[in-house]
């Protein structure tokens, strides 16, 4: 017959572990995480267990097992490599009506330790007929599906409340954080930006309200005030709202404005950071924004207005004089004026520059040129937003890597 699965709440309860080897090393941390008061009986222990003992988290009796060790235990784990000892421990536990898990003999064991995993408050336990490797494989598949939202695990009794500002990453749907994907799977309403990973929206349940908050350059746009009002309105209706944004909510994403609007209305807000395109897109093109001996600083600049525009608050002369990497967002259509300002204020016209369109996506395109020629090269190549511009000697690092790779090809 199959086992009767039960979730034991071990907080404050004594658990006896007989044996101090690798099996015990795997079992003890999970018991501690459940709040158990763990006692280990063994002449010796592994270094990992020794660390837990030194930290005062585990009680250790440095001796062989003795009859009476099971007294007061709610659960016993027989984990030695001596079958006769495990048999004796199990016999004592059975006589005292204490559940005992034998690591060496699933058929003689009164209980099995399942392959377990946890995603938020969801615990997964798999026994698979006592086959630990098979159980672990099934556990991993289920936990992975819960983490990436492919298994519908929306709460019914204890739904999340308020608004979650979720950074969706630079574009590739696989680059959203685990936490972000979990919350997306719980949403009643999703308010999505144009640069958010749109492929994830196809995975939403049919009853999820999807609000397109795209801001198309020089085209249609939902005003920021309207977006703020939508977040507050839907949250006040008792719905859990996910504001799905590209990159990170607080890197030129107006996440701060949305957080303030919700706070003023008494709406709880959870912020989930995202991978910013300012770092991820250059990396996807093989260029580090910093590199030892080349650049020990990088600057991220929003170029929504040109350097000569009176609304610009950027200190372009200081950036031109610096030796750091410049990462320019929203700069493609003002690239000629940016390059002109940087050269005028001190940057060499031969400084390498790279422009990456659709970074991290299958449609990614890259143009590399000098600062003095990059605007013309980008125009000729038909590069359009969204694109990231990188200015600095780190561009050569990426080129060097490509050269090394090419030399090693057969």
For 116-182, the DSSP string reads: EEEETTEEEEE-GGG-HHHHHHHHHHHHHHHHHT-S----SSS---SEEEEE-BSS-GGGS-HHHHH
Q: Please confirm whether the linkage preceding 386 is cis (ω < 30° from 0).
A: yes
Q: What share of the chain is helix, strand, coil (3-state, %, to 5)?
A: 35, 20, 45
Structure tokens at 87: 């048999």
Q: Report d(CA 89, CA 86) in Å as an integer.
A: 5
Residue with tokens 């600095």: 392
Instruction: Supply 22's token pair.
Output: 């690798």
Q: How far is it between the farthest Cα atoms of the chain? A: 88
Return left, alpha or beta for 314; rule: phi > 0 is left, psi -120 to 50 is alpha, else beta. beta
Q: Which residues are catalytic?
A: 193, 215
Q: Is 82 helix (H, G, I), strand (E, B) or coil?
A: coil
Q: Is the dihedral of CA 189, 194, 197, 200 positive or negative?
A: positive
Cα distance from N-terminal residue to C-terminal residue, the chain: 59
Element (H, E) at 262: helix 255-264
């Amino acid at each position: 017959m199959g086992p009767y699965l039960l979730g034991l709440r071990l907080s404050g309860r004594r658990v006896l572990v007989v044996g101090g080897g690798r099996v015990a090393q795997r079992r003890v941390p999970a018991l501690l995480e459940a709040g158990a008061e763990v006692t280990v009986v063994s002449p010796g222990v592994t270094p990992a267990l020794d660390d837990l003992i030194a930290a005062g988290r585990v009680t250790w009796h440095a001796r062989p097992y003795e009859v009476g060790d099971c007294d007061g235990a709610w659960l016993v784990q027989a984990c030695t490599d001596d079958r006769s000892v495990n048999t004796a421990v199990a016999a004592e536990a059975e006589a005292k009506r204490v559940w005992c898990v034998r690591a060496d003999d699933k058929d003689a064991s009164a209980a099995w330790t399942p392959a377990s995993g946890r995603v938020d408050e969801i615990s997964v336990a798999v026994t698979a007929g006592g086959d630990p490797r098979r159980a672990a494989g099934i556990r991993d598949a289920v936990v992975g599906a819960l983490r990436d939202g492919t298994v519908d695990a929306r709460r019914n009794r204890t739904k999340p409340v308020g608004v979650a500002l979720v950074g969706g990453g630079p574009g590739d749907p696989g680059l959203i954080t685990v936490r972000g994907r979990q919350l997306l799977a719980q949403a009643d309403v999703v308010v999505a930006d144009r640069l958010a990973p749109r492929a994830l929206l196809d995975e939403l349940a049919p009853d999820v309200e999807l609000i397109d908050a795209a801001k198309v350059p020089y085209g249609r746009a939902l005003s920021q005030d309207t977006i703020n009002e939508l977040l507050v309105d839907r949250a006040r209706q008792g719905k859990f709202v996910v504001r799905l944004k590209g990159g990170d909510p607080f890197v030129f994403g107006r996440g701060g404005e949305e957080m303030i609007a919700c706070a003023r209305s008494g709406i709880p807000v959870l912020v989930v950071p995202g991978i910013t395109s300012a770092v991820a897109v250059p990396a996807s093109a093989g260029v580090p924004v910093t590199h030892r001996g080349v650049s020990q600083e990088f600057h991220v600049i929003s170029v929504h207005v040109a350097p000569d525009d009176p609304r610009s608050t950027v200190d372009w002369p200081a950036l031109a004089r610096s030796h750091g990497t410049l990462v320019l967002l929203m700069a493609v259509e003002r690239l000629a004026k940016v390059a002109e300002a940087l050269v005028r204020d001190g940057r060499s016209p031969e400084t390498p520059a790279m422009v990456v369109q659709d970074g991290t996506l299958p449609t990614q395109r890259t143009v590399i040129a000098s600062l003095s020629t990059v605007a013309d090269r980008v125009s000729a190549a038909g590069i359009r937003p969204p694109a990231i511009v990188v200015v600095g000697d780190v561009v050569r690092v990426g080129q060097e890597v490509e050269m090394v790779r090419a030399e090693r090809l057969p």
